Amino acid sequence: MSVKLTIIEQMERIAREHGKILAPLKEDLVLADCGLDSLGFAVLVARLEDTLGIDPFSAAEDAFFPVTLGDFVKVYEHGRR
């Protein structure tokens, strides 16, 4: 499964588990508006480490977080290379 599909699947799953409704998951969707709260994102990052084997955010030297879903996917695609 592609990185992007894995991320989207996990987001949908966490939204279901947390009782949240997701906005349509388009490339330019601003993550802050996607429907997951900060706990939801924290869980997402931890789950992705479990399934993709990387945590690009904790590995990074300075704190950064992508703004859009497209950026978020790129961080993982980049980290996986």
Partner 1 sequence: MSMAGVEAPSLRNFVANADAPAFFWDRAASARFTDLQRGTSIDGGRLADLAGRSVLIATAGQLTTALALIELDGCARRLVILPPDTEADHLDALIAAAGVEAVVTDVETPRRPAFDIAARAVCTPSIAPVAERPPVRRRSEWVLMTSGTTGVPKLVMHDLAGLTAAVHARSPADGAAVWGTFYDIRRYGGLQMYLRAVCGGASLVLSSAGEPVADHLARLARHGVTHLSGTPSQWRRALMSPTIRAIAPRYVRLSGEIADQAILDGLRAAFPHAAIGHAYASTEAGVAFDVNDGLAGFPAAYIGSTRDGVDMNIVDGSLRIRSPRTASRYVGIEQALTDDDGFIDTGDMVELRGDRYHFVGRRGGIINIGGLKVHPEEVEAVINRHPQVRMSLVRQKPSPITGSIIVADVVLKSDQQAVPTRQIELKDDILRLCRKTLPRHKVPAAISFVPALNVGATGKLLRRRR
Task: Tell me which residues touch partner 1 (CB under 8 A).
Answer: 17-18, 38-39, 41-43, 45-47, 49-50, 57-58, 63, 65
Please, what is the minimum distance in Å from the beta carbon of residue 73 to partner 1? 16
Nearer to partner 1, 23 or 43 (CB): 43
List Cβ neighbours of 17 (8 Å cut-off, separation of 6 or more). Answer: none
Shorter beta-carbon distance to partner 1: residue 18 or 80: 18
The token pair that represents 25 in the structure block: 């998951």
Determine the 3-state secondary structure of 36 from DSSP: coil
Q: How far is residue 35 CA from its own chain's centroid?
A: 12
Q: Whole-number minimum distance, CB 34 to partner 1, in Å?
A: 13
* Smaller CB separation from partner 1, 2 or 38: 38
User: Nearest approach, Cβ of 71 to partner 1 (angstroms)?
Assistant: 14
| Distances, alpha carbon 5 to alpha carbons 29, 61, 64, in Å | 15, 27, 23
